[in-house]
Structure 1
């Protein structure tokens, strides 16, 4: 069945979908226990062909909600003990040994009895009651921090669809300004939501020998890149994904900007320039112990151009503060752009830098329970709804919200 936004999903209660599916539901890889799910009208019939009680008698029925210890018989292999639970009338879970060979035997045996093996994403699309639940469960499978998971769990509980319903209600009450403000706020939250699955990209850039690689290692918490006093040690863009206060961030170290001595230097700076264009935030690392108008004056002028163009996406970091005493620091900072003072060597200022990074990337975190759009289709819907509201087409905005809620099969029992 095709939705109004172009995605295909089959209603689990649709009589036109008689197929029985089987899938591995636990992540692939070695483990003590794996879970294999089977779903469809023939799920019980198929399992009763291969499940036997501990006394050897065939299993004739699987009551919903009851756990049973059984023998799973695969042709050509000794019986294997499994734990079986029928979680829904058409959905049964088989918990077996987690080794890859054992899981493969269970899948192939059920496939030989008439089920079709599918991946976990198709399993979600086919077995969840709504497309909204499928979207949220897919996203949760990719969550890398508890904070991200908590936000996505709020969405699974219906936070975003409920806010859409509220906006429609506000429009029907004739409160167009309030509805537009609520829609605008949701669009701003997408700036956070889109990074729940794709981390923010923060690039360390700047002139050569400013301590970028040492600071990069200090930020990620281990020696990820080689740091050396000789300029030009870093040639490629080196990345590492970390979490700060529960937010996923990909940090990248790049080649220093200098007068290119050879084609390799030029290529390295070209890659660094390309990374700047892609970054959500650029940290421009400069050596506080050096004169601002000294050998790196050319790179610092370039930084001024970047700062003017990037605005809040650009942050100066005055590094190597450990080389100066308090009075010398004060002198060096005069006439320089405002920024964070750090010492990658001693760790001074590193936590303050993390705070500054979070403030630039996430100036306002969504409150618990708030609706947070996290997919491009959510952003597109909100942009269209806001345009209709601003242009005075409140009725079309309400109709658009309702069409979308129908397309994701937003069900009454998902509310609350």
Structure 2
């Protein structure tokens, strides 16, 4: 357990109905008793006031909860001071806690202590951040499954099987003259590889649910890009006029389709222009295309395709593109025979074809892979990379056994696979890795 006590504001800054200052450590109760007029009681929410101990000035009317170790989030003594949600009151209370002996918490330090004190493993700790950052119900459900230890349990089961094989092979190497009962080594390695391959196969879909799909809406001016954005969002988020070039900058909004978060980026119309402001907008459109995982290329179905449409189509070659033939409520004039991407006909004005467009977007995003309603999905790129490394080492171990290589070679790859799997749950983790992971957390969590 840590020797110092940390404190931080655990609610977002700004005005709100309530704000929380959290303390964790062996002096949490002692510090609270210096500031709080009420009686600090274990697992009771007590009414009182926070008072500056130097001059007796009342800072705020509060409720204080004290939770004694080890049955707390960090497995340390924790105090939570619930005050009014104004930033000044929160900062005053935090400053008093620091003056009375607490240290300002680092980003994610409360969750880091929960991990280091053994309450949760590293994969569960990362799931805490996923819950905080969840964009849809599906991504929240997957994050909660991670916090419950769904992935961790599978990883531990695989590690235990491999540890048994490693112990057996190590004993054969270290004690060649002893009679060691024969044990199947190849079968468990093959089974572990298959289990890892199944987990890896879910990762691409899982990361889509976790991080979303960046989707650029592109096309020449006045084809209905902003209207399409508004129709997808079911609100008038972008300014729409009949004047070409109305959109001068990119506009981002998040859309939830069947649990998949799409980060929609409305862009300026791509055209040749001498207007320096419009040129800047077009340059940002090109950058949006480069950053996008999915592109909605909007075409005007009510007009013949232009040379500019063809140039944009050439620019999008090799990308994941869905061609949206807009203005289907008007008589069709465009010949779409030369369009080399999947086409959905829609009307941003009436909503015709919108359901088909949304289905096509989700299908392209998931690529026919597992959905959030399927078995547990791996949603973290770090976990996927560790699983892939472990699977590669197991493939080498399997190959060594099949070809009769010395068992030392097998144990080397088995040990490397176990190390990779341990990086997921935290059994084999470096200080640098912990710093990288927890630096992404907010202060107070």
Give the TM bin, normalised by the shorter chain: 0.7 to 0.9
4+ runs deviating over 6 angstroms? none
Instruction: Identify the residue that residue 175 of structure 2 maps to in structure 1.
Output: none
CA RMSD, 1 decimal = 3.0
Could you tell me the TM-score, scaled by structure 2's length? 0.75
Alignment match of 1:210 (pick from 223, 246, 257): 223
Instruction: Identify the residue that residue 154 of structure 1 maps to in structure 2.
Output: 145
Alignment match of 1:398 (pick from 404, 410, 418): 418
Alignment match of 2:376 (pick from 370, 380, 391): 370
Assess, with a 3 A threshold, how the Cα gap between structure 1 residues 143 and 69 changes in structure 2: closer, same or farther.
Answer: same
Take 1:30 and 1:271, find their aligned partners in 2: how far apart are those partners? 34
The SS at the match of 1:52 is: coil
Alignment match of 1:105 (pick from 88, 92, 113): 92
Take 2:324 and 2:277, find their aligned partners in 1: how far apart are those partners? 26
Q: Is 1:353 aligned to 2:331, yes or no?
A: no
Instruction: Identify the residue that residue 343 of structure 2 maps to in structure 1.
Output: 339
Alignment of 1:131-142 (within 5 A): 131-142=122-133
Take 2:134 and 2:261, find their aligned partners in 1: how far apart are those partners? 9
Q: Report the alpha carbon displacement of residue 19 of structure 1 after superposing the two structures with TM.
A: 0.7
User: How many residue pairs align between the two structures?
Assistant: 376
Alignment of 1:86-97 (within 5 A): 86-89=66-69, 90-97=77-84
Alignment match of 1:64 (pick from 24, 37, 42): 42
Instruction: Identify the residue that residue 207 of structure 2 maps to in structure 1.
Output: 194
Alignment match of 2:296 (pick from 283, 286, 305): 283
Does the 8 A contact of 1:183 with 1:382 survive in 2?
Answer: yes
Could you tell me the TM-score, scaled by structure 1's length? 0.79
The SS at the match of 1:26 is: coil
Instruction: Identify the residue that residue 236 of structure 1 maps to in structure 2.
Output: 249
The SS at the match of 2:58 is: coil
Gaps in structure 1 of 5+ consecutive residues:
1-12, 54-58, 410-416
Instruction: Identify the residue that residue 321 of structure 1 maps to in structure 2.
Output: 328
Gaps in structure 2 of 5+ consecutive residues:
70-76, 166-184, 398-409, 431-445
Alignment match of 1:299 (pick from 275, 300, 309): 309
Q: Report the alpha carbon displacement of residue 349 of structure 1 after superposing the two structures with TM.
A: 1.1
Q: Report the alpha carbon displacement of residue 404 of structure 1 after superposing the two structures with TM.
A: 4.5
Assess, with a 3 A threshold, how the Cα gap between structure 1 residues 257 and 81 changes in structure 2: closer, same or farther.
Answer: closer
Q: Report the alpha carbon displacement of residue 150 of structure 1 after superposing the two structures with TM.
A: 1.4
